[in-house]
A and B are shown apart, each in its own frame.
Chain A
């Protein structure tokens, strides 16, 4: 049962493609979880219980990674030998950073005005969707050039995700 050597796509019986059928992923995830449910291991050995628990943790991590386009893209790049190195990558294109600062200022000016925040959020979501579309195309043909282009898109995506998370937090408060 332990399939620690399989990659996340293989774990869920998906083909190695950036485009993921989310409903298939979800249903396969649920099925696997049922198989390793702690109730089924109530009368087994300590070791078997421990393995089941480890497997559950792995499956959860794999699901969390694949369900998010950002984390799926980072993982997909890693499988192809490209590390993002988020910690030390600070040189983004100037116009991109300017756009980020403009968004930040717009969010700040909107304060707690939910309607304004949601308008900004939809604008950011659109940019995010464009990036995901670009990634989908780039990942269809794995070449060194496409992977390096994809890496730049992934870096940008992290900023948009952060903006959306910040807006969500403001709206909820």
Chain B
């Protein structure tokens, strides 16, 4: 399989690789999304760090899979930075696939990236919601 230029660029120089450390996660500002694609066995972990105003200030990813899956998640972490959670929620797999010129057989890699974004946002919202609830009950 020959990869497109943009895929190769992200594959060879992936952006924001890695994980946030315990210290960075402790304050609840990080949302982690983990997804997997049975079609190819690829696994993706994507993290967003969100500031108090609900804006994504930093991102990390770890993807075990093919070049297209790595490129899709690398690109996603770039696009996420500076976006609000609402804006991030709007990122579509078709935009990722189009930007990277993914062939039809690799579309599922971009679906994986979109699902990872959604999972990370859901994770962030979940423990921040329970945080607020906890504060409430503490005050009562």
Which residues from chain A sit less than 8 Å from chain B, CB to CB? Answer: 84, 86-92, 94, 96-98, 100-101, 104, 155, 158-159, 161-163, 165
Stretch of B6-14, B32-40, B95-103 that contacts chain A: B32-40
B39 / chain A contacts, CB cutoff of 8 Å: 86-87, 158
Tell whether A92 pairs with B45 under 8 Å between CB atoms, given A87-B108, A101-B62.
no
Extra inter-chain contacts (16) besides given A90-B111, A97-B36, A159-B41, CB under 8 Å: A86-B39, A87-B39, A88-B108, A89-B38, A90-B35, A90-B37, A91-B115, A92-B35, A92-B38, A98-B34, A101-B34, A104-B43, A155-B38, A162-B40, A162-B41, A165-B41
- Give complex CA distance A87, B37 in Å: 7
- Give complex CA distance A57, B116 in Å: 39
B86-127 interface bits toward A, Cβ cutoff 8 Å, 1 = contact, 0 = none:
000000000000000000000110011001100100000000
Measured between C-beta atoms, what is the minimum distance from B96 to chain A in Å? 14
A91 / chain B contacts, CB cutoff of 8 Å: 35, 115, 119
Contact check: which of B36, B40, B107, B115 meets A100 at CB < 8 Å?
A: B36
For A163, give the chain B residue with the smallest CB separation. Answer: B41
B79 / chain A contacts, CB cutoff of 8 Å: none
A94 / chain B contacts, CB cutoff of 8 Å: 34
Measured between C-beta atoms, what is the minimum distance from A111 to chain B in Å? 15
Which residues from chain B sit less than 8 Å from chain A, CB to CB? Answer: 34-43, 45, 62, 64, 107-108, 111-112, 115-116, 119
Tell whether A90 pairs with B112 under 8 Å between CB atoms, given A158-B38, A159-B36.
yes
B119 / chain A contacts, CB cutoff of 8 Å: 91
Measured between C-beta atoms, what is the minimum distance from B120 to chain A in Å? 12
A96 / chain B contacts, CB cutoff of 8 Å: 36
Contact check: which of A87, A88, A158 meets B41 at CB < 8 Å?
A: A158
- B38 near A97 with CB under 8 A, answer no
- Give complex CA distance A155, B43 in Å: 13
- Give complex CA distance A13, B36 in Å: 37
- Give complex CA distance A129, B40 in Å: 20
- Give complex CA distance A155, B41 in Å: 9
Contact check: which of A88, A159, A165 meets B43 at CB < 8 Å?
A: A159
- Give complex CA distance A159, B112 in Å: 15
Contact check: which of B45, B64, B115 meets A90 at CB < 8 Å?
A: B115
Measured between C-beta atoms, what is the minimum distance from A65 to chain B in Å? 17
- Give complex CA distance A86, B112 in Å: 12
For B114, give the chain A residue with the smallest CB separation. Answer: A90
B37 / chain A contacts, CB cutoff of 8 Å: 86-87, 89-90
- Give complex CA distance A90, B34 in Å: 9
A158 / chain B contacts, CB cutoff of 8 Å: 38-39, 41
Measured between C-beta atoms, what is the minimum distance from B21 to chain A in Å? 16
For B116, give the chain A residue with the smallest CB separation. Answer: A90
